[in-house]
Copies of this chain bind each other. A is one copy, B any other.
Amino acid sequence: MKAFQIGEQSGIQSLTATTRPDPVAAAGQVVVAPRLISLNNRDIQILRGSYGAKKPQERVPVSEGVGIITSVGDGVTAFAVGDRVISSHFVNWSGGDFGYHAFGFDLGVTHDGWLAERVAIPAHALIRVPEALSDAQAAALPSAGLTAWNALVEVGKVKAGDLVLCLGTGGVATFALQIAKANGARVAITSSSDEKLALARTLGADITINYRTSADWAAELMAQTGNTGADIVVETGGQGTLGQSIAAAAVNGRIVIIGVTAGQGLSVPNYGTIIGKNLTLKGIANGSNAMLAKLVRAVEVNKIDPLVAKTFKFDEAPEAYAYFAAAEHVGKVMIELA
Contacts and interface: CB of A to CB of B under 8 A. Distances in A.
B94 A94 contact: yes
A265 interface: yes
Contacts of A158: 159
Contact of A161 (B27, B28, B272, B302): B302
A133 interface: no
Interface string A283-296: 11100101000110
Interface string A261-302: 010111111011111111111111100101000110111111
B159 A294 contact: yes
A242 B239 CA distance: 15
How many chain copies does the complex carry?
A: 4
Contacts of A27: 27
A107 interface: no
A183 interface: yes
Contacts of A182: 160, 184
Given A100-B251, A159-B183, A161-B301, A281 B274 contact: yes
Contacts of A269: 265-266
A153 interface: yes
A302 B265 contact: no
Contact of A283 (B99, B153, B279): B279
A23 B257 CA distance: 48
Contact of A276 (B161, B258, B271, B285): B285
Contacts of A96: 94-97, 288, 290
A281 B257 CA distance: 11
Contact of A260 (B97, B157, B264, B275): B275
A281 B278 contact: no
Given A184-B298, A279-B283, A274 B251 contact: no
A29 to B, nearest CB: 12
Interface residues of A, number: 61
A221 B239 CA distance: 26
A196 B297 CA distance: 28
Contacts of A299: 161
A252 interface: yes
Nearest to A297: B161
Interface in A177-205: 179, 182-186
Interface in A295-312: 295, 297-302
B239 A271 contact: yes
Interface in A234-249: 238-239, 242
Contact of A301 (B99, B185, B258): B185
A96 B99 CA distance: 12
6 contacts: A96-B97, A96-B288, A275-B283, A275-B285, A278-B283, A280-B283
Interface of A: 27-28, 94-100, 153, 157-161, 179, 182-186, 238-239, 242, 251-252, 257-258, 260, 262, 264-269, 271-285, 288, 290, 294-295, 297-302
